[in-house]
A and B are shown apart, each in its own frame.
Chain A
């Protein structure tokens, strides 16, 4: 091959390559946790609390124990010696950690909390026995309203905390009092985001297998974080990590719900040890909707000071987060509400800012991460208020955003909370969407439609997010794990195969494909030649998993460094074998060639010479060489990703139905690895965000009962109402970003709730409607329309100041 031919070789990075995962998943040969079958395997069913807050008085298992097929029935005391409770610690001042028991011991704190575990021959028998177990409770007062729980002193979810306020944080920069004093306009609102379920289609599940001979445990779990699970179990079970192996096989979606450690995982690990059988637990949808970590549920009081030109002078935010019954491991209860105040200023320059967040315990399932974490809420609140500010200042929605965004020459920009935005296409994304949408012509259409009694609305939402967090930025302050580094180990094995041990845990992102693209390009091999081991705690000394839009950046960085190192090692061995200088060698298609000659060695030939052909290399030389490279990558601070979304909706005021007619996204996640996968992540994220905005809500009654515990009640978008999403990519690259990659898996869900809320508010402007609660369901739209009509604002009347363009 000539040098010019090498230059023409296809580059995998940037190509819409078909996924390596697909053939097995399309043919029913994926292996999910529920598919694991082992000899002598038993099945677990949990007796769950039907009370939100109660003391456990007595548990009667007599009848259940007698049932044929029941292997054993276990309560908290029976497994206490095998596994300790979890505790999410934090260095944050005033934080109250909560002990999370594997099974509820003295009291239950939410409906659905596991109390007793039944192990039986199959799930049918296990559930029969479960229904024969009687638990006597003494009811305690139930706290479901976080505002009431905050001031409550007699009823505490965790007595040892002495308060229901699990954590409170506040920070900011600048003189907000002065900003509000000198403002031309002050706009304010109270924004409420409902409680949501990430609702991965695969319910949570795990299989525990204790091998007596080896005194070691293998856990398969539908988790995003097999490494976090391994390290937690090792600590809680007093075992060296090597004797616990956690495997996340194919995982049917996570969206943040599978990145925390759960009571059932601890219980199943203990049950495997105590019963001496492999034990499988697969939750049903009722269990999933009532016990999997829940999300958002923040009340945001936000006020903004602007000058006469619409420039933001100051911002104040007060957030009350309902974090449920436990401070979730390892992220802690601060994760969601503190992230809301951290990212409130968004992509805008805010000179003076004060944010304060309170995380309050209630008798509901624990709050955990969900795609976007905090930012869907901060973006919803901030973007609603920006639209209000536009009206006050007489600007268009796009005009006020452009005026306040960090401009290209102002990067790097330090936000009022100390987050640094590196150069990203904030304004480029906005401009790109505005050009695609053409708001001026839309506003003419809108006026014409209103005259026909049709209510069209256009809404924008812009955001920026910090992704690929490095070791200097913890996902939650002081939490007990390191999320800032990642390791990859690449090797050529004795057959010449390229094998990568990586720390990511794939659950739909196509990481086996995108990481193979990265390695293929760096190493000079075909993508098909790269075999990746992932989703397994065993091959590497330390792993966590896939969450927080980290894997492209961290795993991609580690893979890049390891592939570069391995490439040098291959060239060194080949140079010795070919009696050439490494600088004269090129690698293409798993073959090392001496440039300008027809001399070449395949990886297979190199591996044979290195590993199996004795005497081929001089012992001294061989001792100084290897064909394996392990590298860690730490992006230190992380990298900024951003987007602007726009939604065009039509609202039927009679039925309260919202049709999303068009949807646009322009996003900047730096250099794309696989544009097909990136588009897919945006599509899926946006549709989830539309679910957040329009359909989905977990509703609890005052007794702490979940009234939306089936998919007939908790409504996720179906194909029939999901719009197509137009996606444009801005690929800002920076020299000090090793790979050029930035995280993007969560962004769709961050932008969509705000864009939809603004679009619905725009459509309902003739009714004077302020959309300040999500989801904006037909009932809520009905209420807004009724309230607007009662104020004699006639439908069809154009009374909005921002219908004029500036």
Chain B
């Protein structure tokens, strides 16, 4: 990282496969950096104290809170946001599962919920619904009551494990 007279520093990272390099104040949160500097507004900010999970992204393959991470901490990192998944006309399997099971209502928690689910599906057995619920317990959804989100993730566990 290189400093400038304005106190901004250069950060570079890979975001959804694209190499980016930007000037940013060291105090800027990664969530604000993604949203404001890169225009990737799919990452939402719900509480700014790491409780609600709406801003969850993947950093080097691990789910992190973009509201508790400074942009400069992502120097050299590989970042994945909701925009890295399927597109409006070609949803990926997890997004399709969310749609099929009505696992979203207002959609504000959804990007964070999807990124948390991806991380959990990659790393955890998720053998029972309670395990799925525990894995999602750091993401608040105020609309769905979670029941259909659990169903959507359960479908993906079955697909992953070849049970369907």
Contact = CB atoms under 8 A, between A and B. Distances in A.
Interface of A: 18-19, 21-32, 34-35, 37, 122-124, 199-203, 250-253, 255, 282, 284-285, 507-510, 676-677, 679-680, 683-688, 710-712, 716-720, 722, 724-725, 748
A711 B49 contact: yes
B99 A712 contact: no
A405 B23 CA distance: 68
A204 to B, nearest CB: 12
Interface of B: 25, 27-28, 32, 35-36, 39-49, 51-52, 54, 81-83, 85-89, 91, 95, 98-100, 102, 104-111, 114, 130, 132-134, 136-150
A748 B47 CA distance: 25
A378 B100 CA distance: 36
A711 B137 CA distance: 13
A201 B105 contact: no
A408 B49 CA distance: 52
Contacts of B145: 680, 683-688, 722, 725, 748
Chain B: interface secondary structure? loop
A252 B45 contact: no
Contact of A201 (B52, B83, B146): B52
B137 A27 contact: no
A801 to B, nearest CB: 35
A722 B147 contact: yes
A684 B142 contact: yes
8 contacts: A21-B107, A25-B110, A26-B104, A34-B45, A252-B44, A684-B145, A717-B146, A720-B133
Contacts of A23: 88-89, 91, 99
Given A680-B102, A711-B49, A30 B142 contact: no
A683 B137 contact: no
A716 B83 contact: no
A674 B34 CA distance: 36
B49 A28 contact: no
B126 to A, nearest CB: 12
A684 B46 contact: no
Given A722-B146, A724-B147, 7 more contacts: A22-B104, A23-B91, A25-B106, A124-B25, A253-B106, A710-B49, A748-B145
Contact of A27 (B42, B48, B140): B42
A180 to B, nearest CB: 41
Nearest to B81: A28
Contacts of A122: 36
Given A28-B41, A28-B42, A124-B28, A252 B108 contact: yes
B88 A24 contact: yes
A767 B105 CA distance: 41
B146 A687 contact: yes
> Which residue of A25, A676, A687 has the most chain B CB atoms within 10 A of its CB atom?
A25
Contacts of A202: 44, 46, 106, 108
A19 B141 contact: no
Given A22-B104, A718-B137, A201 B109 contact: yes
B32 to A, nearest CB: 8
Nearest to A506: B106
A29 B140 contact: no
B111 A28 contact: yes
B142 A255 contact: yes
A27 B114 CA distance: 10
A250 B104 CA distance: 13
Contacts of A24: 88, 107
Contacts of B36: 122
A27 B133 contact: no
A26 B106 contact: no
Given A27-B86, A684-B142, A285 B48 contact: yes
Nearest to A685: B145
Given A253-B143, A680-B105, A719-B133, A711 B47 contact: yes
A718 B134 CA distance: 9
Contacts of A285: 46-49, 52
A422 to B, nearest CB: 29
A429 B33 CA distance: 51
Nearest to B29: A124
A577 B57 CA distance: 57
A273 B36 CA distance: 24
A719 B149 contact: yes
Given A27-B42, A711-B51, A719-B133, A200 B149 contact: no
Contacts of A28: 40-43, 81-83, 111
A285 B54 CA distance: 12
A22 B143 CA distance: 14
A27 B142 contact: no
Nearest to A255: B142
Contacts of B137: 718-720
B31 to A, nearest CB: 11
Contact of B99 (A22, A718, A720): A22
Contacts of B114: 26
Contact of A29 (B32, B42, B132): B42
A502 B89 CA distance: 25
Contact of A26 (B41, B48, B81, B91): B91
Nearest to B49: A710
Contact of A712 (B49, B54, B109, B148): B49
A123 B36 CA distance: 11
B138 to A, nearest CB: 8
A717 B52 CA distance: 11
A355 B43 CA distance: 48
A725 B144 CA distance: 11
B146 to A, nearest CB: 4
A288 B28 CA distance: 22
B140 A718 contact: yes
Contact of B106 (A37, A123, A252, A687): A252
Given A253-B106, A712-B51, A684 B140 contact: no
A714 to B, nearest CB: 10
A27 B39 contact: no
A253 B81 CA distance: 22
A27 B88 contact: yes
B140 A716 contact: yes
A509 B105 contact: yes
A676 B98 CA distance: 13
Contacts of B100: 18
Contacts of B39: 37
A683 B134 CA distance: 19
Contacts of A724: 147, 150
> Which residue of B41, B114, B136 has the most chain A CB atoms within 10 A of its CB atom?
B41
B82 A27 contact: yes
